[in-house]
Amino acid sequence: MPQSDLSNKSLKWYQGLDRYCWVVLIIAALGWLFDTMDQNLYNLIRVPSLKDILSKTISDPVVLEASVKAKGGLITAIFLLGWSVGGFIFGVLADRIGRAKTMIVTILIYALCTGLNGLAQTWEQYALARFFTALGVGGEWAAGASLVAEVFPQRSRAMALGFLQALSAVGNMMAATITLGLGNLDTHWRWAYFVGAAPALLIFWILKSVKEPQKWQDAKAKATVGKELGNMGELFSNRKLRRNTIAAVLLGTAGVGGLWGVGFFSTDMLRSELVKSGWSPTAMGRAVSSMFFLQQAGAFIGIYLFAAFSEKITRRAAFTLWFALAWASILAFFWGLQGAGTDAYLRALALAPILGFCTLGPFSGYTLYFPELFPTRLRTTGCGFGYNAARILAAAAPFVLGSLAAKFALFGADGHLIRGGYAQAATCVSFVYLLGFIGVLIGPETKGKPLPEDKDFEVGSRHFEPAMAEAGTQ
């Protein structure tokens, strides 16, 4: 098809693309899909797995319940820190050695280390296994997102990246399906992690099918002293790059803190209510998995619609809207379940898709917006830094939520749980979304612009002029 036809605005984003574009999108999407599946296996089995491990040394039910909350938040925080370390390291490597090679290494790490989680005998071993799993998880996203961004034409880029991120919700649903099939997670939780090692097989397809993008090859050929590939220092020495980096960190901190610090504790919130209602472990496991599946079904829709909205309106407007929705959905979910007792399950089924739609939507923005903030030779470095510095800042959120939930929890004289404390804790942590609104004010509008290169960050370039100024000249 002639190039003029490819750029025709009358074409849908998915029309007129060559076969290789689809191969790259499918492989990158599978890498991220399995990545998110491995992440959320832990969210679904956090409570039963930690109860199983900690009950070997703690017999008092009140102490055990509080320890599970505190250690669950701590291990989640450790996972986010490992995610950040992996993102920094492999973000730079993806600029220096290539996107495809980095995807292979990171997928191997997160898949094999997920299997190691199933062998943990102490909470310290569990935390260490989560940290190493996170190293691969953190590095895979930037390489995959940059690969898709650089292969697809400009007219299709945003929606292709939105589709890539939307499939992460399918990975989350796969995690729910695995745990649902296992039934009683109190005794079978280790098998979930063994299944999570399977994505390592994906590397054979990558080796056979994916080559490094031409944009990256050109950037590598032009690299000179002071303009090296993956030079993280340039993210701060250049004024425009510094602004973009700070905006990315703030946007990422809001979404990661809200999701991992609150949204993914929806499973624990439901469990705390079902325990009070006398549900059996098997019934609770199925209920939580079913609720989480619906949460991720809502996430799939929210992620894809975020991309469509950002293409129709602007990137900044999409972030503003979804951060507001995410904040409201968190309060509605946790306070809606607080004290619901036997009605908690039905309320969770109704509110979980809304929670997923709102809290996961901004992650579509990170996948399509972050590559638009950095030149090719710094693209995965910038994406990795923005996303993973955010994870370091957000790592305190799950620890704070776990600690506050334990503090706000109320027990009867016989050790029976009366109130879980998650709603109060979630309210406190949800203020992290204020950082997202600040990031929106700082970040440039990139809708309709080609991926930037070095010339766009030179003094006098108008490529990243403030959005309001651009609007006034149109």
Query: What's the mean pLDDT in 41-58?
Result: 90
CA proximity to 251, closest of 432, 446, 436, 438: 436
Query: What's the mean pLDDT in 362-375?
Result: 94
Question: Which amino acid appears at position 471 of this protein?
Answer: A
Question: Which amino acid appears at position 458 of this protein?
Answer: E
Given its phi and psi angles, is residue 169 left (phi above 0), alpha (psi -120 to 50 degrees) or beta? alpha
Question: What b/e string do you get for 396-427 counting C-beta neighbours within 10 Å, with b at 16 or more?
Answer: bbbbbbbbbbbeebeeeeeeebebbbbbbbbe
In the predicted structure, residue 9 carries a pLDDT above the cut 80: no
How many Cβ atoms sit within 10 Å of the Cβ of residue 375? 21
3-state secondary structure of 58: coil
Write the pLDDT tens digit of every residue in 216-252: 888 888 877 667 788 888 999 999 999 999 999 999 9
Write the pLDDT tens digit of every residue in 125-150: 999 999 999 998 888 888 888 899 89
Contact between 441 and 424 under an 8 Å Cβ cutoff? The reply is no
Angle at 180 between CA 118 and CA 355, to 5 degrees: 100
pTM more than 0.85: no
Given its phi and psi angles, is residue 60 left (phi above 0), alpha (psi -120 to 50 degrees) or beta? beta
CA proximity to 294, closest of 305, 306, 286: 286
Query: What's the mean pLDDT in 145-170?
Result: 89
Question: Which of the 8 DSSP states describes residue 153?
Answer: -
3-state secondary structure of 376: helix
The answer to whether domain 16-214+228-473 has CATH 3.40.50.150 is: no
Domain chopping of the chain, boundaries: 16-214+228-473
Question: Residue 2 — φ and ψ, nearest 5°?
Answer: -60, 150
Structure token digits, residue 371: 């590559």
